Every structure is written in structure tokens, then in C-alpha cells.
Structure 1
């Protein structure tokens, strides 16, 4: 309970804003007398809510404030002997928050800008892979919750340099600065993702509702990100209990419901999570069902009904020390009738095929993580052991034999392990270790022997992150990889190579900086997609794929206004493009280059941004089409995104919008068609009805535009009937937390 007028005022203000006070365990008398006493703290870096909970347990302090301020932030933790004031200042360093002490000894969290104070400078080195100067994109839980993404297209809708082709989750592919995710190192909770199953479906089927963070290092990835980062790295992290549970609470949960008018789509989800005595447990499940959607012309798009089922289970233990043990299992499934080729509606000419077939796609990811991150010293190990599997089963009734069903099954699997340690020295943070993967691609057809390719890779890496004075941040590293590859004919091929990277950011002053980076990447031999594997292939000599990346740019910010520009290029040599009939060793060279610009403003009441990207892709010196760019790139051209949000705290209301504008792209006119431009506008209104109930009303594709997404397959070919995106849809979402 709160005992003073100040505490009552904090409670009243919180209730007026639809927010909750943050009670912490500990006696009132202890809080009142704790200011002068020094105590020993050993609280590891992690979600700010979790770190604050441990601080309250150790110090006996009480904390009040706006729950949402802390919910999406990471803390560097604290280690050493400090007063509560000193310890809390270190915990809040770099978060943009401060804590004011009330006369009764309680702390009240406030936004540093709103409080008119300067944000504290970080006092410890940030853990690798949480923040890196090389990150070209970084979303935390707060950003993801604000977007409330239903699919990957929603997740990246405000990024002009990130495109997602496909109109439904099972056919969506992500392109970061023009590079398809197959040519990037993709991880989920640190686990390598291997999902080159079939080029007509999604590369990685992911439910973004499960995510607490997304980071991309486009082009220039760090050595400790992992092997094979040809076009950079793309990392996803699923939510922890600390991201969902308020400080001081031991049990919680939520129920989600959503109805969208286009396709009468109903989404239901729920989660329960808790913690006690250092143990944490979380369970989550989500299901989406409905009918085929209508496109902007008012026509029904056949075989597009939603059928997504996803879940997450996670247990963890972290005592008073910095060591954390975590085991998670995540699964996503989509099973329904889809267009025969799931990424476009039909094809004029070619062999006759049924209109549809069943696609049953399941991706499962099981990960064990152990970490000990003190933010200082020489012993900060991390161990990741993981198993990832994606299985696609297609079932079709052939036109020539309508009484039979043909079943094809493709399975990609990855066993991976990473052991690393971070040495925090006075001059730099040094990450070093080894990693391993065993990837396989299997194709099964009843009556025939299984066809399989396999690749095993062992790597060693060193990455240094080094501030030089207060003007220069450096990140540079090297890795060595040795790969053993086995073909469908059981032939074995061994190879090895070295990769290196360097990235630098120079700060002219507090408002202006410039950056540049370079990476050369050795990627070995990538597995072929399993639906084209051929037991008659003759492998012979293979050429390992290599990539060369460079980027340079600048950033400026002043009083909430910001601007950023980047110039980038990725060149891929000997990119593997195998063919069932031609053979396994077909290769091509790709050159993907462009630039992006962003302008905007972030203030206490809202934000607005305008982003522009211009990306060109070539294959063997000619403009790359969406066909011959499979696994590597797609024709994108010029894309503009405009997004903004306006918050009215007194009314507990937020209004927002996002717009995507693509310009006509005639680079591929020789293929049959130019890519036509379009403008799509989405609107939303969020309302915090009560402390526990939040509502969102949204309108997607406000103008009922009939269009094919710029990154979707086939729009440049006159013979391809593309999948138009959904037309206008009204949606109402609700979340009840308890």
C-alpha cells in the first residue's frame, strides 16, 4: 500500500492515465532509511522490469511510476557496492528513464526528457548481439507491441529498406536492403534457421506476435553473429516473462481477440506466465481462422484463407547472480489449400496443373541458452544448443488421376551449437568462441529412396567492439569456417575459408555522426531446396559462395528531429542456383546496391517519419527478375514509407498511420511488364479502456488499392497471374491482461 500524499498522488496520476503503479516488495521503513546505506549488488543485464524487480528485492526499496515506461527496455544491470540511489542510476543508465525519490523514500520512474533531465550515460559495455554499432535495424518489445503485427509484412511495414513479398504468411519472404533472407544468417533465440524447403512458400514461417526483439545487420555482420552471413544477419528473439510481467508480480497472463472484416478473419490468443524463487515459466498459443480475402477489385482471391497456429513454451531460471538458464520451444503451422504454386495465383501456358494443393508447413525451434553476463570482467560465457526443423508436406490430386493423391515431403533440419565468452577490458569488449551446425535437406516420395544433401560446418570467431575516446566506435572481427558437404549421390566435398568485417562510426558532435563498414564473407556450399533434389546429380567440383559488402552513411539528430542516409552494396560470387534438370553446380553472380534516406521527428506526444529506398539488383550483369533472383534478391526499385503516431495520454488514446508508396519500375520491362506503382494507407486508433483492457480499431488498405506487393513474385512476367494483396479491411482487436 501507499502511505503518503506523494504516493497517493502518484497513484492518482497513474489511474488517470490508464496506468498502474508499480509496487515492489520490501518494508516501508526499510525504503525510508535505505538512502545512505551501501549494499553489494550483483544484478545481471536484462529486461528492465526484471532488473528492477531484483533491485527491489535486494534494496528493500519501493518503486512507483508508469509501467509502460519500463516494459520495453533493457538494463545494463549493476555490480558492486553502492547506495540504492547509485545502484538505481546504473540500472537506468541508457534507458532514457530516471527515478526521483519521494520524501518517504520511494522511487518514482519518469521519462528523462519529460522530467527535464539529461539521460545518464551507460556505465558498462552492452552485451554483444543486444546492441551493436553494426545494427541497421533494431526493434524492441515496445516497438513490436505498438505495431501489433499479424504477419511479417506488418512487422516491417514502416521500413522502406525492408520488403516482405507475399500476401499471406505461408508465402511471405523478407528482403533486407534487397537481399533475400535465404542469403542472410537468420536466427531465432540464437538458433540457426534452416528453411530452404520450396521456393514457392515462405523462407521462414514466423509469427511476430511471439517476438520481443528483431535486429538486422544488413551486409556487414559481426563475426560472432554466426557463419554464412552473405548479406548480413537477421535475428529474432521471443518474449520472456520479464517482458510481460510487471515488477513485483509473480503471475500474469492475457487474452487476445481480433476480428477483421475482409475474409471474416478471427484471431484468438492467450498466454499465462509466472515467476517464483528465480524460476520463470511462460506458455502462449495463437490461432487464426477465416475465409478467402477479397482483393482491391472486390474479387475473392481463392485459396488464401488463414490457417495459422502458433505456440511458445519457455522455462528459465536466474537466481540472484548473473547466470541465466533458459529452455524454449516455439512452433508455427499453416495447413490449408493454397494456389498450386503458393506464391502466385496461376500461370498462362506450361504443363496443366490443379488449381490448388494442400500445403502443410510446420516450423519448430527448440533452444537451450545459458548465459552469464555481468557487463564487466573476463568471464561472461554464453552457450546455445539448438534444434530447428521445417517440414513441408504437399498433397495434390493430379488432373490425370483424380482418384489418387500425390504426397511430397520436404524436411530441412539444423542442429547447432555456439560456445563463446565476452572479455570486458578497459579498452574493448572482445567476443570469442566456436560454433557448429549440421544442416540437412531431405525429399521424400513414397516408393522412392529419400534424397538428401548435408552440410556440417565448424567455425571459430573473434569480434572486438572498441570505443576510441568519445568520438569513435569500432567493431571488427574475423572468423574461420571449415565445411563438409555431402551430395545426394553420397559424394563428399570439403572446403574452408576466412571471413572478416570492420565497421566504424565517428561522432562529429552530439548531433552528427558518420559510419562506414566492409565485410567479406565465405559461405561454403548452401543446401539446395529439397523439392528439386535429384539422385542423378553429378556434383564434381563445387565453388564456395562468397560475398563482399560495403556500406557508408550518416546520422543527425537535434531536439527530436533526426535524419539518416546510407549507401550500400552486396556482391555475391558463385551463388548456388541448382536446377533439377541441369544439375547441382549451377552458380550465378549477384550485385545488389542502393541507398536509403529517412527523416523524422520523435517527441513526447508522438512521432513521424518519412523513409525512401532505391534498390537495384543484377544477376550476371543483367537486371534480376523475381524468378532468377530466387534465394538471393528481387526487383524492388523505389519505395517510400510514411508513418506516424500521436498520443493523448489524458484520454489514454493513440492515433497512428502508415503509408507505403512504390514508384513504377521499368527496369524489367523487357521481361514482359513493368512493375506498377501503388499507394497503400493503413490507420489505427489505440484506446486503453482500463488498466487491464486495451482496444485497437484499424483500417488496412484504406483506399481499397488493387495491387501486388513490390516484393511479390511474378509481376514483371506477362504469363504470371500474381496474387493481389487484400483490399480494404476493418479490424477490431482487444487484449485483456490479468
Structure 2
């Protein structure tokens, strides 16, 4: 079933489900401990699957049972963990067999989906492969509650229920991303082709998510060997080529991966080149050429008994001439500037992790140590001195460490631990002293997830953070605060569930963006940012049909909005509220979803604009996303369609202009020509709409020339796997 609104679901690939296998939905289980065959038989009966059990394999084995809400595969994984067995899916159901002992354990064993995890959009590797996103906008195009502004990767920003990603906790493979480099470019440069999972969690974030989750969290995970190889394979790879007619864009990527015994390794590279694209009016959009390159390298060692050790490094770079202010085309007033300058934007992420998850008992530790860095260098030719060049350089770094343990008790699943970050923002201009802000934070947390009674799931937790902040004038500012959250979901019956949650978050003092740091700043009245999040929802599921409604509100107090001339201490209050509606249907061969979001954002009691909402929100109004697909298994063909509809928004009309409505339609056809060769033909912006994305900058200002999105484009993609 496609993800609906902000509900966590496993998104089904467009192939037929084997007869007898249950749809990938979660179900509540309360199976007591017993012999393994007894427990498996009860699980099979309650889940509605066919499970062939060989008594010779289960003889002498016991199980602690299963308590909580699980999908079919997650429940089987939990029951069979550490038994040496696995459930092999087939045409008629599942068959019990010996586990392939040469395979390393996955990074995490899938657990129950309860309480605080419901308010999310989750894409797993199967879903990302089906979407085949070229940028982060493609990844979230089927979600009305997740808006992505910007027309090319270097200027794209993500908004979850109206909250900009700067006001969220963003991690890649567990590494905190501190990327407030320059508000005219992307906050986080993400290549979705490197991802195996992406989760956007709105509002009520659990304490173990990490510090500073003011409006929720964005969690990205890069691919592992486990995601790429079949169970009986030890080595493999692929080459991928894509051509898009608009801008004559070429994408080339490839990967090699393998495993032997307790070791595995993976290498992945992706490159996108192209010319300027044309908008829906047929006009060429200057300085919009594609110039992205990315890569990923991973090595891992371990076993289910020893745990998993993993070291990874991810690099993403975009280097090309862009509009002088990369997120819009120009200004009709103000000081004269060159038409363009070169933006060299790079993100570098290095992570070491250790995980031991037995999915039982009191000792299931996880340790993560990481460094992330984003660097932006802009080079321009001044109008007054065309024979010279001027270079500015901004670097944000974050060193992070997390140590936590997951305990499975009869009372609850308990996650506790400590985390640390050291964030810095550095600005360099040749001939001037370096300018830098720094924030160091230590936090402790505990989060409990439990089934209080058969129909009631709870998640609640606390965290305490202490921060030391240092300004450009070397002044020190220490502060501390507590955060708490509570989320409950009650299942009225097998079809209807209601949920509600609240979180209060202390976020400390956020770093200013590099490009506005000022040596003359005097830090006298710094205030820590805090937020309050409320959400309430209802979900109805009946035999493949889903209906959902959610209402939410995020209030952010003392949000830091410094300016070069205004000083470092400026703050504002933001109030973001709205609601989501969703309808969907899913079967073995088809799915269809319609999602509607209505978001209203205010700054200090006035309608927030795309200018004064920088770092926190944007005027989004009413958004609709439609997504559907139908699979022809015999022909090995899948046809799909999606549509994005934005209704006219006059909430910001006082700024000079309303935001125009638009409708964009996309279509695709997937064809499995050979077992090793997959083709996709798609038409993006089929109706050739001339529009600016609702989450993009400047539409409400008569002095701004906003960037129009690409017009119609025909694409052909081919992937050969070996």
C-alpha cells in the first residue's frame, strides 16, 4: 500500500503478491511463550499466512512469544531471530528453512510499529527503487504533507507539514546534519539514488530520535549489501543509464557489492550531467544545468552473535554556475549584481556504527560515531571589477556520538542512552579573519514503548540537554533544558484506530548561517528555542481500503532569525497548523491514493512569507497528491500515474501577490525485458504546466523573479543487474 498522509507503511512493489501471503500491514499480537512450533502456528493463524513448518527444524526450540504491533515479515523476523531459521517466501506461502549463516545481520532487526512511529512517512528500499527518484523532490512527490521547494538539487528545501528541515533533526546513517550554510541554496544536498530508506516524522518526536527535533525529524539511510543481493548471492552489481529530453540530461550510475563470511563491502557512484532545462512556456532557464556527482563506500563485519560493525562514507557535490541567488532568478529592485556566480556545494558524511540487536533481553546496544560536513564556495565576478574574482567559503561541521541500549522487558521496550554533538559554522573571505560560531551539547534520554492493554499502544519519554554556545566574539553562553513526549494510539476495533500526541522540545541556541556571520556582533541576550507539538488523528482500514485524517500544530518560540546588520539576538515566534486527509486502496495488482493537506503558517502573528519564514516555514496552503499504479504480472509491465495539485493561496496577498494554483501530471511504464534488464519510460509534466513549486521562494513578491519548474520531459531509463 502506498504511504498515506503521515502513516508508516511498507510500500508494495508493483508486482503481484504470492498467493497466500498477507498484505504488508501491521497487526496487534499477544502470543505467549511456548515451543517454537506452537508459537509459529499461532502466529500463522492470526496473521492469515500459510507457513510450512518442518518439525525437525523446530524440535527442541522455544520462543518468548510476540507482544506488540508487527507486519508479517517483521513478526516472523522477531520470532525466528537467533533460532538459526528463516521464513522463505514462495508462491503458496512461507517455508521454514535454515538461515544462510554466511550473511551478516542487517543493521537493525525490524521491530514493532507503534505509537510515536505512526506520525510518519516511510519509504523503504523497495519503494525507493520503484519511484526511481532523481532528486529529493521526486522522492516525496506522492506526499501532500511533504513539500519540496526548488527546481534543481542545489536549491531544494524540504518542508514536513509546513516545518522547514532546518527546524527538524536531520540525520544520514545516524549522523547529525548541520547544514545551515546559505539560505539561497539547499539545506541538505541529498542524492536519493544512494538511499535504502527515508523517514519523515512530523511533530511529536520520541526522545531517542536525538536533540533539537523541534518540528520532527528526517532520517535517511544509505543502501547496504543486504539490500542489493539475493539471499543466495555473494557478489553482484549493476549499471544504470538514464536520458531525459528536457535539458538533454544524462544520468550514469553503477555499483559493485559483495560478501564473504563475516565481511561485506559496497561501492556506489552516480553522475548527472545536462544543459539548461526549458520551463512550461518553452523558455530556457539560465544556469539550471545538471552537475551532480555522488558516491558511497561501505565495509562491514560481524555476525548475529557478535553484532555488526560498519564504516561508511558518502559524498555529494554540485558544482556549476547558478543564478546569483540560487533559489530565484533575480530581483527587479535593489543593488545591481551579476546574473550568476559559481556554487560549489559539497556534503561529506563519515559514520562508524556498532549494533547488536537480539530483539530480546536487556542488552541490545548501539553505538554511532560520525562526522558530517557541508561546504559551500561561491565565486563571482564583481560588476565594478570584471577583471577580478571574489570567493566566499562557508563550512558547517558536526561531530556526533550516540550510545544507547534497547531493553525488552515484560513491562515495555525501553531505549535509554546519551548523545553528544559539536556543531560549528565557519565563514572565510580572503584577507579577513575567519568568523565562527560553535555549539556543544550533551544529552541523556529514555523512551518507553509499550502495549498497556490489548488495544492501547503508548510511547513516552524524556530527555535532558546541556549546551555550551560560543559566538563570533568568543563569548560563551551556557544553558540547559528538558524535553518530553507522549503518544497514544487506541484501536477501537480491527478497523478503526485513534491517536493523539504531544511533545515539548528544548532546542538550545541554533547556529546562524555562515554567510551572514558578522565580526561586529555582540551576543547579549541569546534565548534557547523551544517548541510545542500537538497531533490527533483517526485511521480506518477495511480490506485494502484506507481512510485517514490528522490535525496538527507546531508552535516554535524564540526561533533564532539573525541578520548581518540586525545582530545575532533576533528571534521570532512561529505557529504552524493544519490538517491532512487521505483515501487509498491497495490490492495485489494495483494501488491508488489521494492525499490532501492544508497548512497555515504564521510568524509573530502574521502570515509567514517565504522570506521571513527562512529556517522555519513557508506559505504552503492547500496541496493535493494523487498516485496510482497497475501491474500486469504476465506481461511483466507496470503502468503508473501521479499528479500534484496546488490550489490558489491568497494568504500572502498582502506581500504583493497571491500564489497561483497549478496541476502537474506525470506518467510512467516499467517493463522487465529480461531478468537482468529493467526499462522505464516516463513523461514528467505531461501537461507542460508553467509553474513555480508552491514551496519555492518569492512567488508572493512582485520584485522577485521566481524560478519556473521544468516543462515536459520524456525519459528513458535502463538498468542491467548482474
SS at 1:659 equivalent:
strand
**1:311–1:585 Cα change, 3 Å:** same
How big is each residue's C-alpha offset from its partner over 1:129-186, in whole Å with a ceiling of 9 and x where there is no partner?
9995344211111111111000010000000000000000000000000000000000
Q: Aligned partners of 1:79 and 1:727: how far apart in 2?
A: 50
Indicate if the aligned counterparts of 1:133 and 1:503 stay in contact, CA closer than 8 A. no
Deviation at 1:88, TM superposition (A): 3.6
Q: Aligned partners of 2:134 and 2:243: how far apart in 1?
A: 12
Q: Aligned partners of 1:347 and 1:322: how far apart in 2?
A: 59
**1:100–1:625 Cα change, 3 Å:** same
**1:209–1:362 Cα change, 3 Å:** same
In the other structure, the counterpart of 1:36 is 56
Q: Could you tell me which runs of 5 or more consecutive residues in structure 1 were left unpaired when the two chains were aligned.
A: 1-15, 20-31, 44-68, 108-123
**1:310–1:125 Cα change, 3 Å:** closer
Moved more, 135-144 or 567-576: 135-144
In structure 2, which of residues 98, 104, 128 is the aligned counterpart of residue 144 of structure 1? 128
Deviation at 1:469, TM superposition (A): 2.5
**1:131–1:368 Cα change, 3 Å:** farther
SS at 1:144 equivalent:
helix
Deviation at 1:491, TM superposition (A): 0.2
Moved more, 443-452 or 318-327: 318-327
Q: Aligned partners of 1:129 and 1:106: how far apart in 2?
A: 27
In structure 2, which of residues 449, 469, 487 is the aligned counterpart of residue 485 of structure 1? 469
The equivalences for 1:553-568 within 5 A come to 553-568=537-552
In the other structure, the counterpart of 1:325 is 309
User: Structure 1-normalised TM-score?
Assistant: 0.86
In the other structure, the counterpart of 1:601 is 585
Q: Aligned partners of 1:33 and 1:644: how far apart in 2?
A: 37
In the other structure, the counterpart of 2:78 is 76
The equivalences for 1:332-351 within 5 A come to 332-351=316-335
Q: Aligned partners of 1:665 and 1:276: how far apart in 2?
A: 57
Indicate if the aligned counterparts of 2:684 and 2:713 stay in contact, CA closer than 8 A. yes
Deviation at 1:17, TM superposition (A): 9.3
Deviation at 1:79, TM superposition (A): 3.9
Instruction: Determine if the alignment matches structure 1 residue 712 to structure 2 residue 707.
Output: no
SS at 2:634 equivalent:
helix
**1:79–1:167 Cα change, 3 Å:** closer
Deviation at 1:592, TM superposition (A): 0.3
Q: Aligned partners of 1:79 and 1:640: how far apart in 2?
A: 41
Instruction: Determine if the alignment matches structure 1 residue 99 to structure 2 residue 99.
Output: no
In the other structure, the counterpart of 1:514 is 498
In the other structure, the counterpart of 1:277 is 261
SS at 2:154 equivalent:
helix
Indicate if the aligned counterparts of 1:245 and 1:251 stay in contact, CA closer than 8 A. yes
Deviation at 1:80, TM superposition (A): 5.5
Indicate if the aligned counterparts of 2:115 and 2:449 stay in contact, CA closer than 8 A. no
Q: Aligned partners of 1:273 and 1:352: how far apart in 2?
A: 51
**1:349–1:42 Cα change, 3 Å:** farther
Indicate if the aligned counterparts of 1:134 and 1:220 stay in contact, CA closer than 8 A. no
In the other structure, the counterpart of 2:190 is 206
In the other structure, the counterpart of 1:629 is 613
**1:581–1:96 Cα change, 3 Å:** farther
Indicate if the aligned counterparts of 1:125 and 1:424 stay in contact, CA closer than 8 A. no
How big is each residue's C-alpha offset from its partner over 1:237-262, in whole Å with a ceiling of 9 and x where there is no partner?
00110001000100000000000000
How big is each residue's C-alpha offset from its partner over 1:79-129, in whole Å with a ceiling of 9 and x where there is no partner?
455xx8xx445x98xx9994147xxx999xxxxxxxxxxxxxxxx995489
In the other structure, the counterpart of 1:618 is 602
The equivalences for 1:235-254 within 5 A come to 235-254=219-238
SS at 2:428 equivalent:
strand
Indicate if the aligned counterparts of 1:371 and 1:382 stay in contact, CA closer than 8 A. yes
Q: Aligned partners of 1:535 and 1:456: how far apart in 2?
A: 21
The equivalences for 1:438-477 within 5 A come to 438-477=422-461
In structure 1, which of residues 228, 233, 257 is the aligned counterpart of residue 241 of structure 2? 257
Q: Aligned partners of 1:353 and 1:549: how far apart in 2?
A: 41
Deviation at 1:38, TM superposition (A): 3.9
In the other structure, the counterpart of 2:415 is 431
Deviation at 1:510, TM superposition (A): 1.2
Indicate if the aligned counterparts of 2:181 and 2:515 stay in contact, CA closer than 8 A. yes
Deviation at 1:709, TM superposition (A): 0.1
**1:526–1:106 Cα change, 3 Å:** closer
Indicate if the aligned counterparts of 2:142 and 2:625 stay in contact, CA closer than 8 A. yes
Q: Aligned partners of 1:490 and 1:685: how far apart in 2?
A: 58
In the other structure, the counterpart of 1:352 is 336
Q: Could you tell me which runs of 5 or more consecutive residues in structure 2 were left unpaired when the two chains were aligned.
A: 1-14, 19-51, 64-71, 100-107
How big is each residue's C-alpha offset from its partner over 1:709-736, in whole Å with a ceiling of 9 and x where there is no partner?
0000000000000000000000000100
In structure 1, which of residues 371, 374, 386 is the aligned counterpart of residue 358 of structure 2? 374
SS at 2:126 equivalent:
helix
**1:275–1:295 Cα change, 3 Å:** same
In structure 1, which of residues 185, 198, 204 is the aligned counterpart of residue 169 of structure 2? 185
**1:345–1:701 Cα change, 3 Å:** same
In structure 2, which of residues 624, 628, 653 is the aligned counterpart of residue 669 of structure 1? 653
Q: Aligned partners of 1:501 and 1:443: how far apart in 2?
A: 36
The equivalences for 1:393-432 within 5 A come to 393-432=377-416
Indicate if the aligned counterparts of 1:295 and 1:727 stay in contact, CA closer than 8 A. yes
SS at 2:230 equivalent:
coil
In the other structure, the counterpart of 2:154 is 170
**1:126–1:695 Cα change, 3 Å:** closer
Q: Aligned partners of 2:61 and 2:379: how far apart in 1?
A: 59
In structure 1, which of residues 551, 561, 569 is the aligned counterpart of residue 553 of structure 2? 569
Q: Aligned partners of 1:307 and 1:632: how far apart in 2?
A: 28
Moved more, 465-474 or 238-247: 465-474
In the other structure, the counterpart of 1:4 is none
Q: Aligned partners of 2:236 and 2:514: how far apart in 1?
A: 43
Instruction: Determine if the alignment matches structure 1 residue 537 to structure 2 residue 521.
Output: yes
SS at 2:686 equivalent:
coil
SS at 1:670 equivalent:
helix
Indicate if the aligned counterparts of 2:179 and 2:396 stay in contact, CA closer than 8 A. yes
Instruction: Determine if the alignment matches structure 1 residue 195 to structure 2 residue 197.
Output: no
SS at 2:511 equivalent:
coil
Deviation at 1:322, TM superposition (A): 5.6
**1:80–1:74 Cα change, 3 Å:** closer
In the other structure, the counterpart of 1:66 is none
Deviation at 1:494, TM superposition (A): 0.1
Instruction: Determine if the alignment matches structure 1 residue 652 to structure 2 residue 636.
Output: yes
Indicate if the aligned counterparts of 1:258 and 1:731 stay in contact, CA closer than 8 A. yes
In the other structure, the counterpart of 1:156 is 140
Q: Aligned partners of 1:383 and 1:96: how far apart in 2?
A: 39
Q: Aligned partners of 2:203 and 2:636: how far apart in 1?
A: 41
SS at 1:597 equivalent:
strand
Deviation at 1:511, TM superposition (A): 1.0
Query: Superposition RMSD on alpha carbons, in Å?
Result: 2.5
In the other structure, the counterpart of 1:548 is 532
**1:132–1:517 Cα change, 3 Å:** closer
In the other structure, the counterpart of 1:365 is 349
Instruction: Determine if the alignment matches structure 1 residue 680 to structure 2 residue 682.
Output: no
